[in-house]
Structure 1
């Protein structure tokens, strides 16, 4: 189960993190929508990519995976708050909440498995 969740998290966060790091036009638009400088959005992308690396390495060293998944959970909780504070409708925050729950599930599963 932990492996499947790790792969799911990687498939979600890696493309998004890389797009933020590359300052893809859609990510520049998102940053502008949130009133966030592109440089800060790139930091978020770097955190997402680092989280993916930690989750994948955590498949062999559990404490790292748990720490990375916890970080991704907090990052997504913050993303949901940012969506709501900027007046986005509730459905726009739901993906961040769902991914936060997947990250949290990964951490809990990893802790109980190993």
Structure 2
């Protein structure tokens, strides 16, 4: 079970880091889109990016100390559930043009839950 937990943790950490870094630095189309389309402030976008980057670090360190990995996976999952709420509020699931990008938080929330469960079972 540890190998599954390690693979899920590393993959989720890579995705979290790739998603969080541009937001934390307020660079790229995603940060601009969150500010214009979703109406989020620059400070909130940066906070979300830092939370995602922290989750990536926690998931990697959690390979050696599972409680931290579990907390990071749960925290990242909660962040993704919040993203689903914002996408719902913006009407992204009803619009076929934005639905594809809005599905990512749902998938990542499920992967976060699977990662947390496998880390618990690997203890």
Coarse TM-score class (shorter-chain normalised):
over 0.9
C-alpha distance in 1 between matches for 2:54 and 2:24? 12
TM-score where L is the length of structure 1: 0.94
Query: Any runs of at least 4 consecutive aligned residues in structure 1 with deviations exceeding 4 A, and if so which?
Result: none
Q: What's the CA shift for 1:93?
A: 2.8
**Unaligned 5+ residue runs, structure 2?**
none
The aligned length equals 114
Q: What's the CA shift for 1:56?
A: 0.6
Show the counterpart of 2:20.
17
TM-score where L is the length of structure 2: 0.88
Q: What's the CA shift for 1:4?
A: 0.7
1:58 equivalent among 59, 62, 65: 62
2:116 equivalent among 103, 107, 110: 107
**Unaligned 5+ residue runs, structure 1?**
none
Q: Deviations over 1:71-103 (max 9, x none)?
A: 000000110111011111253432101001111
Q: What's the CA shift for 1:22?
A: 1.1
Show the counterpart of 2:37.
33
